[in-house]
Amino acid sequence: MHRIKLFSLPVFFICALLFPHRSAADQPDSLLILMQSELNREMIELKKTSLPPYYIDFRVNESEETEIRSSFGSITKTRSDKKRILNTRVKIGDYSFDNSHAGSKTNMGRLSGFSIPMMLPYENSADAIRFSLWESTQANYKLAKEVFTSLKSSPVDSTDENRSVADFSKETPSQYYAPPIEPLERTFNKSGWEEKIKNFSKLFLVDKNIISGNVFLQINRERKYFVSTEGSSVVQNQTYCQLMIDGSIRADDGDVLPLYKTYFVLTPADFPTDDVILKDIHELISKLEKIRNAPLADPYTGPAILNARASGVFFHEIFGHRIEGHRMKDESDGQTFSGKLNELVLPKSINVIFDPTVSTYEKFSLNGSYAYDDEGIKSQRVEVVEKGILKNFLMSRTPLNGFLKSNGHGRTAAGGTPVSRQSNMFIETSDPLSDADLRKMLIKECKKQNKEYGYMFEDVEGGFTNTGRYIPNAFNIFPTEVYRIYVDGRPDELVRGVDLIGTPLTMFAGIKAAGDKKEIFAGICGAESGGVPVTAISPSIFVNHIETQRKVKASVEPSLIEKPAPADK
């Protein structure tokens, strides 16, 4: 048996906005000038063609990124680079019907709204920039033309509900210019951080059952440029700073149990002190050791409390993705909330708000914040659920019946095509209960349902949901820390091997109360337009009926010989 092993580590990252405090009236930079002049030239020239576009935009994501990884006290990756990704969107037809029209079943039609990304030079040589913008426009105009021709030549589908709604919303052009922020190398001590990260991950060597002990630092400075033929010109900055710690321990039955701790900040200087991080890692290791000896849980139905962080992920996955507006135009989507506008979808005490305009919450940075979305639309606070009643959807420039304008939630990763995505989600309750009261409710409900115990989901690592209609419209949340709360007063019992599963409407109907303390769950949400940074700020919730299933179990055998002892021992 043999193996050649190459590095192929998964990349996790978390992001936040850095709003510059300087005036937007500063002198535009040369990239912006080049983008605007080439955009004008392209539009003027393409207007002369037989199938002229009615809209073009250029979006450039310029990133400067440093990534350092360590494992058990060794640096396993260190990299710093910069790049620019260009995406050109060309629209042919008009606002009511264009090459992004959804629902076509032809091969070309399936590419509706798609655009081809490419790398752009990161140096502002006029010839090189203009040439790359031209190359990209050529390719994307050609694609748009072929898709539009295919859509127009397809027989009119009388069942196409999207025909009654425009394909692209009319919006007021935006003007925003943030001056550049300092390059990373001037503000970030890379070698100092390498040493720190080595020392952090070294702590995992303490327990022979710990099979992975990793620390990952990512520092990213991003500058986003957006210009459109409607006259929008938006230049904004973001920084992405994340320190992620993960450890996994092997249980005696071979199962592998992970725990995570993530710090998200705007700049490296904002990270907690080393003492705080070291203390947190010690706590994480201690928790790993406890989980290792925890019993495996059997499938369960009954009452549960989702603590604040777990509840944030739950709302993001199960609720948030279902109020992303563009899904209501997708025939293959389950469209859970399509016909539920102005109906009660959550308890009357619950409000759900998405607000990318807020950059901090109780001194914590929120990574779902931005000044303008990736379609150049100013970010807006959107009250999606008021007193339990569905009032709104998250909208990009893809309109819906009754929602003809964007509310600043058209988002994408670099190189993608924007669709409606989540930002900072706030779950609020008009009737907050203390943790003790939630616990009392749980025990009371357990007794009513004749259950020996209920569940408390303390922390989760993430989850996924299927919003399509071809397979069940279900969700799966991956808890990392779960306790049984016994009705007879026995101490809470840590268990392992639990996944929280269900279907959305049943679960929403089961939410009976929410807590008075909120926590922040920050992460990168992956969907059609790639990974975008999001935050959920949520209280704990009490649900009268949840369902769990056994988690996929690993079967890692114990090592045959001890991990080699460090040379200095």
Partner 1 sequence: MNNNFKFILVALIFISATRIADAQKKEDVVMKAMEDELSRSMNELKYNEYPKPFFISYTIKDSKSLTIVATLGALMYSLDLPQKTEGARVLAGDYDFNDESLDNDITSAPGRNEIDMPVGDDYDGIRRSMWAATDNIYKNATKHFQRNKMNLADQKKELKDIPHRSFAKTEVTNFVVDSPIISCNKPALENYVRELSAEFNQYEDLISTHIVLSFKRGNDYFANSEGTRVKTPFRLASLGLDASIKTADGDNLQAKLNYDASEPGQFPSTGKIKTDISEMMKKLLAKRNAPVFNEDYSGPVLIEQQALAELISITLFSYNDGLVANNEINTGNGSSFEQGNSPDSKIGKTIVSETMTVTSMPKMKTFKGTPLLGSFDIDDEGVIPPDRLILIEKGKLKNLLNDRTITKPGQSANGHGQGPGVISVSFDNTVAKAALKNMLIKEAKSEGLEYAFILKSVVKKGVSSVPGSSSTSRSHGDNEVADLDIYRVSLTDSSEEFVRSVKLNSISTKIFKKISAASNDTVVQQTEQRASATGVLSLLLPGAVLFKQLELSGSDKPFHKDDIFVESPLKKNRE
* x/- letters, 407..446, toward partner 1 (CB under 8 A): ----------------------------------------
Asked if 392 touches partner 1 (CB under 8 A), the answer is no
Judged by CB under 8 A, the stretch of 138-146, 308-316, 371-379, 488-496 that binds partner 1 is: 138-146
- Interface pick for partner 1 out of 22, 30, 40, 142 (rule CB under 8 A): 142
Judged by CB under 8 A, the stretch of 14-22, 340-348, 424-432, 558-566 that binds partner 1 is: 558-566
Q: What are phi and psi of 109, to 5 degrees?
A: -60, -30
Asked if 45 touches partner 1 (CB under 8 A), the answer is yes
Asked if 21 touches partner 1 (CB under 8 A), the answer is no
CB atoms within 10 A of CB 85: 17
Those residues with Cβ within 8 angstroms of residue 5's Cβ, 6 or more apart along the chain or in another chain? none
Alpha helices in 30-78 (DSSP H): 30-46
Please, which of residues 218-237 interact with partner 1 by CB under 8 A? none
Q: Residue 103 region, left (φ>0) first, then alpha (ψ -120 to 50), else beta?
A: left
User: Which residue type, as a one-letter code, is found at position 76?
Assistant: T
Asked if 7 touches partner 1 (CB under 8 A), the answer is yes
Asked if 557 and 254 touch (Cβ cutoff 8 Å), the reply is yes
- Interface pick for partner 1 out of 23, 27, 107, 127 (rule CB under 8 A): 127
Asked if 336 and 505 touch (Cβ cutoff 8 Å), the reply is yes
Asked if 108 touches partner 1 (CB under 8 A), the answer is no
* Residue 51 token pair: 């199938």
Those residues with Cβ within 8 angstroms of residue 100's Cβ, 6 or more apart along the chain or in another chain? 91, 112, 113, 167, 168, 398
What is the C-alpha R_g of the chain? 25
Residue 568 CB, nearest distance to partner 1 (Å)?
8
Judged by CB under 8 A, the stretch of 126-134, 325-333, 514-522, 537-545 that binds partner 1 is: 126-134
Alpha helices in 393-502 (DSSP H): 435-448
Q: How far apart are CA 480 and CA 310, in angstroms?
A: 10
Asked if 561 touches partner 1 (CB under 8 A), the answer is yes
Asked if 120 touches partner 1 (CB under 8 A), the answer is yes
Bridge-partner residues for 498, per DSSP? 550
Judged by CB under 8 A, the stretch of 35-43, 160-168, 352-360, 496-504 that binds partner 1 is: 35-43
- Interface pick for partner 1 out of 40, 106, 131, 157 (rule CB under 8 A): 131
Asked if 33 touches partner 1 (CB under 8 A), the answer is no
Element (DSSP H or E) covering residue 221: strand 210-228
**Which is nearer to partner 1, 7 or 470 (by Cβ)?**
7
Asked if 129 touches partner 1 (CB under 8 A), the answer is yes
What DSSP line would sit under 349-376, residue for residue?
A: TEEEEE-TT--EETTEE-TT--SB-TTS
Residues of this chain that interact with partner 1 (CB under 8 A) are: 1-7, 9, 38, 41-42, 45-46, 49, 69, 71-79, 81, 83-84, 118-125, 127-135, 137-138, 141-142, 211-212, 248, 250, 256, 554, 556-557, 559-561, 563-564, 566-567
